[in-house]
């Protein structure tokens, strides 16, 4: 918990490592905030996911799968009420709440975001979470119970979508940045 609080910070305890003084005596990290990058990446990931799902629903749903690379990769429209790999179909509302919580945490973290790699990683997470949350809210069978549209189907693997890909890529990037000791505020720590 202390590590998460150190990264996210609290309004009453500004970080001073790697900072420069602002007017009024408070400190801020060096460089400029990367909030625009975060939201640009999120908007791009979200738009790509939304458009791809609209195309899949219009052109692929209720049709035979399209083989892309032999038996190794095909496009196949399915509706997934659960989490990754189809697990937890009875807990759609919980996944909706988790996605909403992720969005709130990223929005809170954005206020002290000075690292470009973190902005990209969080943008991918935000765009992916918004993409799947949109499905959960607006698709049938109903609000907060909607099934996510999945369509990328590798052989012997789960069917997924572009939002899932953005979430996984953002998560991997966050793990790598954490191992390197790079914090969202641009500071580097050695633990």
* Mean pLDDT rounded to a whole number for the chain: 82
C-alpha distance across the termini of the chain, in Å:
15
Read off the pLDDT of residues 84-138 as tens digits, 9 standing for 90 and up.
655 666 667 787 788 889 889 998 888 889 999 999 999 999 999 999 999 988 9
pLDDT of residue 86: 59
Rounded to two decimals, the pTM is: 0.79
pLDDT of residue 14: 41
Q: What 3-state class would DSSP assign to 145? A: coil
Read off the pLDDT of residues 45-58 as tens digits, 9 standing for 90 and up.
999 999 999 999 99
* Torsions phi, psi for 69 (to 5 deg): -130, 85
Note whether 112 and 35 are within 8 A (CB).
Answer: no
Of 185, 41, 5, the C-alpha closest to 126 is 41
Q: Where are the alpha helices (DSSP H) in the chain?
A: 2-8, 35-59, 92-110, 116-138, 162-180
Of 56, 71, 68, 76, the C-alpha closest to 156 is 71
Catalytic residues: 150, 164
Note whether 165 and 174 are within 8 A (CB).
Answer: no
Instruction: Report CA-CA distances (Å) from 98 to 51, 66, 80, 191.
Output: 23, 32, 16, 29
Note whether 45 and 163 are within 8 A (CB).
Answer: yes
């Amino acid at each position: 918990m202390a590590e998460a609080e150190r990264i996210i910070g609290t309004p009453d305890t500004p970080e001073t490592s790697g900072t420069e003084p602002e007017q009024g005596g408070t400190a801020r990290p060096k460089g400029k905030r990367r909030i625009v990058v975060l939201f640009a990446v999120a908007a791009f990931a979200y738009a790509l996911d939304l458009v791809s799902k609209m195309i899949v629903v219009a052109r692929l749903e209720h049709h035979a799968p399209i083989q892309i690379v032999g038996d190794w990769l095909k496009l196949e429209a399915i509706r997934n009420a659960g989490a990754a790999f189809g697990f937890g179909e009875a807990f759609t509302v919980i996944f909706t709440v988790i996605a909403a919580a992720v969005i709130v945490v990223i929005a809170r973290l954005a206020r002290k975001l000075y690292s470009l790699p973190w902005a990209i990683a969080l943008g991918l997470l935000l765009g992916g979470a918004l993409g799947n949350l949109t499905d959960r809210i607006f698709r049938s069978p109903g609000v907060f119970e909607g099934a996510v549209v999945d369509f990328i189907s590798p052989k012997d693997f789960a069917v997924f979508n572009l939002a899932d890909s953005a979430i996984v890529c953002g998560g991997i990037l966050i793990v790598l940045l954490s191992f390197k000791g790079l914090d969202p505020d641009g500071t580097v720590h050695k633990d």
